[in-house]
């Protein structure tokens, strides 16, 4: 598939497609056109519930729907789901382990021109701390669709992270998604690039660049950040001896931190993190922002070389 498609678009399309097979409802907070739940609404207007601009209420309403045996998807921007409604997600959904699916779109800096207030680089960190929460951050439209179905089949709260920016589709249509299992996208022996979401695309380019310099880089796609596939991380530590993590999220508390935790406790090897450093986002075009925040194949290559230099 040559066309580029944003994971939020795939999310909306998946809801509309799966609405026939599964019994669920979709909640939104006045952002149906942006989160793309509007695609579902068009097909199933009676199953789409607009909650208005009141995200905290929306999450607790979703909890009540789930407590009464209905499966709700609650959608808004990542900033207003994980950020604004963190406590509702923790107390109304997480604590009673209710079957609420949170579709959080516009995550990370690729929100673009809207700038810092809307660029959520903290949601993975926040959601990771909630016991029993499953976190999925798909790499492309195929994986996003698969993630929605996997979330439906999983009994418990799921936080799905989708992006605004259109990306190439890198998985085949027959791709088999396994919740909680990382995917080795490219084999390698010298260093492993562990990425999630959009940065997987960057890591694959970086691996090509490294190969041109005679460095064999493995690329692992972590679509499920929690529960984390510890085996694939420790295997990478054991077999390549150095790791670079890449995420469109703060380097604090996200994928990089999760990988460091596993590696430090299991098999210490150098881990360097690429992501948004301890800073806020800002307005700009997506390519300009990715460049400004070091989310580039070039920076990943540099970090990979630095990690290699740290290998004993």
Query: What amino acid positions are annotated as catalytic residues?
Result: 55
Q: How far apart are CA 226 and CA 175, in angstroms?
A: 20
Interface with another protein includes 126 (CB under 8 A)? no
Q: Which helix (H) or strand (E) holds 77?
A: strand 72-77
Q: Are 221 and 200 in contact (CB under 8 A)?
A: yes
Interface with another protein includes 132 (CB under 8 A)? no
Interface with another protein includes 56 (CB under 8 A)? yes
Contacts of 287 by beta carbon, 8 Å cutoff, 6+ apart: none
From residue 161, give the alpha-carbon distance in Å to each of 27, 185, 189. 16, 20, 30
Instruction: Select from 24, 7, 27 the least CA-distant residue to 136.
Output: 7
Interface with another protein includes 96 (CB under 8 A)? yes
Q: How far apart are CA 146 and CA 177, in angstroms?
A: 6
Minimum gap (Å) between residue 124 Cβ and another protein: 23
Interface with another protein includes 99 (CB under 8 A)? no
Name which of 68 and 212 has its Cβ closer to another protein. Answer: 68
Interface with another protein includes 44 (CB under 8 A)? no
Token look-up 């986002």 returns 281
Interface with another protein includes 52 (CB under 8 A)? yes
Minimum gap (Å) between residue 94 Cβ and another protein: 10
Residues 24-43 within binding reach of another protein (CB under 8 A): 25
Interface with another protein includes 156 (CB under 8 A)? no
Name which of 97 and 186 has its Cβ closer to another protein. Answer: 97
Count of residues near another protein by CB under 8 A: 28
Token look-up 């959608």 returns 75
Interface with another protein includes 268 (CB under 8 A)? no
Q: Where are the alpha helices (DSSP H) in 121-254?
A: 123-128, 141-153, 199-212, 230-240
Q: Are 165 and 109 in contact (CB under 8 A)?
A: no
Interface with another protein includes 276 (CB under 8 A)? no
Considering only residues 26, 39, 66, 263, which one is a binding residue for another protein as defined by CB under 8 A? Answer: 66
Please give the residue ranges that form the binding site for another protein (CB under 8 A).
Answer: 25, 47, 49, 51-52, 54, 56-57, 59-70, 72, 87-88, 91-92, 95-97
């Amino acid at each position: 598939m040559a066309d580029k498609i944003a994971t939020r678009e795939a999310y909306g399309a998946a809801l509309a497609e799966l609405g026939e097979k599964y019994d669920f409802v979709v909640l939104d907070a006045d952002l149906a056109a942006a989160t793309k739940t509007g695609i579902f609404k068009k097909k199933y207007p009676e199953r789409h519930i607009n909650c208005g601009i009141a995200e905290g209420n929306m999450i607790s309403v979703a909890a009540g729907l789930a407590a009464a045996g209905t499966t709700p998807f609650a959608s808004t921007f990542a900033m207003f789901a994980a950020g604004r409604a963190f406590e509702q997600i923790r107390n109304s959904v997480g604590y009673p382990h209710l079957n609420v699916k949170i579709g959080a779109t516009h995550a990370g800096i690729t929100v673009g021109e809207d700038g810092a207030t809307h660029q959520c680089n903290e949601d993975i960190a926040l959601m990771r701390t909630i016991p029993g929460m499953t976190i999925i951050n798909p790499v492309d439209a195929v994986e996003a669709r698969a993630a929605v179905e996997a979330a439906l089949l999983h009994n418990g709260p799921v936080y799905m992270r989708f992006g605004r920016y259109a990306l190439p589709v890198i998985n085949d249509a027959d791709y088999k998604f396994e919740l909680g299992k990382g995917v080795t996208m490219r084999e390698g022996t010298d260093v492993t690039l562990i990425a999630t979401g959009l940065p997987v695309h960057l890591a694959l380019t970086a691996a090509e660049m490294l190969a041109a310099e005679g460095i064999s880089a493995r690329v692992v796609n972590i679509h499920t950040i929690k529960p984390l596939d510890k085996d694939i991380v420790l295997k990478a530590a054991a077999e390549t001896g150095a790791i670079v993590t890449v995420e469109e999220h703060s380097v604090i508390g996200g994928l990089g931190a999760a990988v460091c935790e596993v590696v430090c406790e299991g098999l210490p090897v150098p881990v360097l993190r690429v992501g948004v450093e301890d800073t806020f986002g800002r307005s700009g075009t997506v390519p300009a922002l990715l460049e400004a925040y070091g989310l580039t194949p070039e920076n990943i290559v540099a970090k990979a070389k630095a990690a290699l230099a740290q290998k004993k």
